[in-house]
Structure 1
Amino acid sequence: MVASGCFSNAPVLNASSGVGHVINVGGVNSYVTGSPLAVLAILLVSDVYGFKAPLLRKIADKVADNGYYVLVPDFLHGDPYDPKNVSRPTRVWLKDHEPGKSSEEAKSIIEALKRKNVSAVGVAGFCWGAKTVTNLAKTELIQASVLLHPSYIVVNDIRGVNVPIAILGAEHDSLSPPKLVKEFEEVLKAKPQIDSYVKVFPNVSHGWTLRYDPTDPKAAMAAGNAHKIMINWFDKHLKK
């Protein structure tokens, strides 16, 4: 079953958006923003539309303003999902870009950052990117994790998490419906040694933190609240 909500509200991609720039880190081209001298780094793992989405880069810039060196890796390698390409069905695209497949590349990026004196790393994943984050959260490479309206995540993924994790779900979400998010919460409650935070946002749909209309005050406020929670979570667990 294809998760259609992951593919709705396609953004207009813009390679020149954001105040940062693109460099190769650990073998992966990445949008980077913030001071390269920062000792705390954040990876933002995109949805199916990749690292050229202007709102994603805006979020990265916002996180960087809080003292982080932020990277948005191009884990799609120049091949974001294109809803206009009718000759390449969603299922075919997903086969080429299996959720979580980028975990090993993410490890290479994190290792490269730590060789440059980064002392702590947080990772957040939006939709398609959530699987990569849960894979990393099972390792000792990162210190904090956040899932925002995750896709393709099952309870067993959450059972394996061993670093602090925040999960932000949507009231209207067929991919991670509130009932499933509640199951995630119960699993985490059974692991009190792992700090966790779970919230289902009312009156929002899948993708609300990343593919929203910035001219809609309610949509912008809901997204902004989620971004604030994400930043606060990283502050709590990385700025020790």
Structure 2
Amino acid sequence: MSCPDCFSGHVHAGVPKGEVITLHGLNTYVTEPAKGADAVKGIIVIIPDAFGWEFVNNRILADHYADKGKYRVYLPDFMKGNAAPVWSIETLRAVMRTSSVMDWVTKPYHILCTIYGVVPFLYRNRFGKSWPVVKDFFAALRKNEGAALPVGAAGFCWGGKHTVILAHGAEVDGKPLINAGFTGHPSMLEIPADIEKITIPVSFAMGELDSAVKLPQIKQIESALNQKEGAGEVKVYYGAGHGFCVRADVVVKDVETQALEAEDQAIDWFNRHFAGVSL
């Protein structure tokens, strides 16, 4: 259902600038451009990775989207309190270490900790259970806050599957739930079946070394998108692995640069596809 790299990465330093509200029944982090609501030209909803709506990296990313794109950005608790614990990042890193005898001695302990943290997330947030929550939120958003604004979905890892399914073109009151989608290193996709059903344009940011979607599958995504004019695009970030958009190691210069480039990829995509939206 997932891969070890889905739960690895790095926690970033920073203080999110948004606020927490309740929106359509879900706790939601919301952030706007520095100039406030008058500057908003669209809505982006982040469907996060395994670490959910409270993870500082996801909130900082939401802030970047708001300031760079002049969007109101929502980061809802689609997992309803069942995100993977952030401490599992370190336990999985410990599982992967093999450089000393102590690494091997402590490995069983870290494996058990990882199972304890990750398995409940996978079960409680399986797609069949989480999809209705995501779909209902977007339907309510379109009828209310998104009635007169373009709406985009930005999904990462766990959220990538939901973004692609939203792009199959579900509607409410004759309007699509989203006008464009962006996904960074999605997981759990059925390739090429999920891609072939896309009717709303989606931009993919993929890592060359991603263990969830490998290069042959990335080529399949490209091929499926190319079958339909305007269905989407794929950008491969060479040397990047799974999670680079959200959990890039900011100590490693190239990876941090790629994470920032992926931010710009998303903003540029939404800018282009929101420009012609008429609601």
TM-score under structure 1 length normalisation:
0.90
Partner of 1:22: 20
AA aligned opposite 2:49:
D
> How far 1:120 moved relative to its partner?
1.1
Partner of 1:216: 252
Higher-Rg member (1/2): 2
Matches within 5 A, 1:171-182: 171-182=208-219
1:123 correspondence with 2:153: yes
Q: Return 5+ residue gaps in structure 2 as ranges.
A: 92-112, 171-175
Partner of 1:200: 236
Distance 1:86 1:228 in 2: 33
Alignment RMSD, CA only?
Answer: 2.2
Partner of 1:72: 75
Q: Return 5+ residue gaps in structure 1 as ranges.
A: none
Q: What SS does the aligned partner of 1:11 have?
A: coil
The worse-fitting range, judged by mean Cα deviation, of 123-132 and 208-217 is 208-217
Residue among 37, 40, 44 paired with 2:42: 40
Task: Give the conservation status (yes or no) of the 8 Å contact 2:82–2:121.
Answer: no
> How far 1:36 moved relative to its partner?
4.6
Q: Percent identity?
A: 31
> How far 1:195 moved relative to its partner?
3.5
Partner of 2:110: none
1:136 correspondence with 2:134: no
Residue among 243, 262, 270 paired with 1:226: 262
Task: Give the conservation status (yes or no) of the 8 Å contact 1:167–1:198.
Answer: yes
Number of residue pairs the alignment of both structures matches: 237
| Bigger helix share | 2
Partner of 1:156: 193
Q: What SS does the aligned partner of 1:220 have?
A: helix
Task: Give the conservation status (yes or no) of the 8 Å contact 1:100–1:129.
Answer: no
Partner of 1:88: 116
187 and 88 in structure 1: CA distance in 2 versus 1, 3 angstrom threshold? same
Deviation digits for residues 177-226 of structure 1 (CA, Å, limit 9, x no counterpart): 1110110111111111x331111110111111111122432221110011
Task: Give the conservation status (yes or no) of the 8 Å contact 1:33–1:61.
Answer: yes
AA aligned opposite 1:228:
D
Task: Give the conservation status (yes or no) of the 8 Å contact 1:212–1:220.
Answer: yes
Partner of 1:108: 136
Deviation digits for residues 27-81 of structure 1 (CA, Å, limit 9, x no counterpart): 1111100045635100111100111222221211111112111011111222221
